[in-house]
Structure 1
């Protein structure tokens, strides 16, 4: 077996699990910091407008495998200014609070053991995520879940012109890691963005579904190794002395 010289991970439902977003709960949290809300907008009204806007933007288009999300800060600014709401928080503080409350993250089962195993073998690893939130907010979230901050780098598509499965996004990650595609493994939960995207540039793909629901998913048109338990991944790494 050819062992990896580096490993790249998707973020959501791969490194961390998240419940479905409760956007009304998230808006309720940020409205507590309103210094001006002349129309007395409620969390429910804000959530209703947000859903309308997201439909207009095509976020719920069933014809798209992975719809292009608008940068969340742009959506946040539109909502607040449309509703005449001013907060005492900065844009980044508002974004972080909304995400933390609406969809809190937890490390995936046994992923910490995987990261420790990689560190023990001196195999560097990084994060390549499709995300509407800023990279700074993602870094804070990952640091909260993994306080020792073990990642070589963390990429969020909101910061770049491309997103998975585009080859340019994967190639950027390889460039930053300093390894070739053939020496790099990629792990993610999305059959198109993660599996087809990474194999398209020559990486070995690992398709992780912690609920073991592979048969209910669209099947990737690329070879991959299926994982429903991160401990299986550790067994594929090189032995230690």
Structure 2
């Protein structure tokens, strides 16, 4: 019996605003004497993702995200001498709750699940205070477990176990919803949870438990539509 649903945050419930996009990199770069090319942002971001090295024990490590952002800065044409300082300033912007907006399907879906009597939680990697983030965006959830406070990142079992324990449910009574196959789906399934991949961009057409937007979640979970 389903009693709880856990959600990833970034690119599941919320997305970064223009303060974190290509033009923002250019603006912050100029503050550091760098002439960054916004047109090179996407290629630089994908290259940085390919090079991203997780902590071997999945411990939360802010330095990993600074190095990731520095790779983007360099890929956009940032000089080595100032790239790190620029990256640190960009990472700080990711800690500002107002720099994110909710997808238009986020709040209605949370409200619908709440109306069905389900417990709701957030489980996210990142530098933000997740409880403050939930309050800022009026997310009606029971718990918010962020890797910064918890100390481990998804897909480590302990971050999921902590969320489930806080909600008082077993893995078999909970589902996880997120956009990262490795972090959200594999991590939850390894613990025995049901997991639904949110594939907004249609990148995983062969994944059986996938939805294209959150409005499809209640049906995917087998909930009564009434």
| TM-score normalised according to structure 2 size | 0.68
CA distance in structure 2 between the aligned counterparts of 1:155 and 1:27, rounded to whole angstroms: 32
* Distance apart, 1:144 and its partner CA: 3.2
Match of 2:118 among 119, 123, 140: 123
* Distance apart, 1:28 and its partner CA: 5.9
Contact 2:8 2:124 in 1 (8 A): yes
Q: Which residue of 1 aligns with 2:31?
A: 42
CA distance in structure 1 between the aligned counterparts of 2:151 and 2:136, rounded to whole angstroms: 27
RMSD: 4.0
Contact 2:197 2:210 in 1 (8 A): yes
Residues 169 and 189 of structure 1, relative CA distance in 2, 3 Å threshold:
same
| Alpha-carbon displacement from aligned partner over 1:112-141 (angstroms, at most 9, x marks no partner) | 22101111111110100011x132xx3333
Match of 1:134 among 104, 111, 128: 128
Residues 19 and 10 of structure 1, relative CA distance in 2, 3 Å threshold:
same
Tell me the matched-pair count. 194
CA distance in structure 1 between the aligned counterparts of 2:181 and 2:225, rounded to whole angstroms: 31
* Distance apart, 1:17 and its partner CA: 2.0
| Alpha-carbon displacement from aligned partner over 1:53-76 (angstroms, at most 9, x marks no partner) | xxxxxx947355x6346327x96x
Contact 2:14 2:103 in 1 (8 A): yes
Structure having the larger proportion of residues in helix: 2
Match of 1:99 among 94, 104, 107: 94
Structure 1 position 195 matched with structure 2 position 180? no
Contact 1:109 1:229 in 2 (8 A): no
The 5-angstrom pairing of residues 62-101 of structure 1 reads: 62=50, 67-68=54-55, 70-71=61-62, 98-99=93-94
Q: What stretches of structure 1 of length at least 5 have no aligned partner? A: 30-40, 48-58, 76-82, 84-93
Match of 1:205 among 188, 195, 203: 195
Structure 1 position 175 matched with structure 2 position 165? yes
CA distance in structure 1 between the aligned counterparts of 2:48 and 2:61, rounded to whole angstroms: 12
* Distance apart, 1:150 and its partner CA: 0.9
Structure 1 position 239 matched with structure 2 position 224? yes
Residues 102 and 173 of structure 1, relative CA distance in 2, 3 Å threshold:
closer
Q: What stretches of structure 2 of length at least 5 have no aligned partner? A: 37-46, 67-81, 83-88
| Alpha-carbon displacement from aligned partner over 1:133-176 (angstroms, at most 9, x marks no partner) | 132xx33333333x2x4111111101122111111111111111
Higher Cα radius of gyration? 1
